[in-house]
Amino acid sequence: MTSNNDKRMESLSQVIPEELAKKMEKALLEVLETAICQNFKESSKFVRDHLTYVKKLRLAENPNGYARYIARKLVPDEISYNTRLEKIQAWYRGELRTKLEELYSLYYEISQEEKCEISKDNAKGIIQGLLNMSLTDD
């Protein structure tokens, strides 16, 4: 039996989109697929590291928050972004290079977003849900 609080919390969580984490997961999986197609060993550090990010994203209580954490950790500013791109261009070729450039571009884009994890529209929806909860709880 589902309680009213559980139903309310479900409706509040539906207000928060998870597109960010899904975008990052998709980009990571494309990098992994391309690397394996180019004969990277499943046990290689490259594959293991990228696979770990996918697993942690899937298991995270707040996938979008974890996606932001990864992005800010790996590419906190423009200098580190440019450094990563230079290394990618020096070390990788073809489709894998393209997929890695796209992934790091996504990381950079995410890391440069405002620190607020919830948009104003989503915040308004959450507040409305909380107001509705408190009205029915009284």
Cα separation, 117 vs 63, whole angstroms: 11
Please, what's the b/e burial string for 22-55 (b: 16 or more CB within 10 A of its CB; e: otherwise)?
eebbebbebbbebbeeeebeeeeebbeebeebbe
pLDDT for res 73: 94
Looking at residue 115, what is its pLDDT? 58
DSSP 58: H
Domain ranges of the chain: 18-137
Residues 6+ apart with CB under 8 A from 46: 35, 40
pTM (2 d.p.): 0.69
Query: What string of pLDDT tens digits covers the 138 residues of the chain?
Result: 444 444 444 433 443 345 889 999 999 999 999 999 999 999 999 999 999 999 999 999 999 989 999 999 999 999 999 999 999 999 999 999 999 999 999 999 999 876 555 677 777 877 887 887 756 555
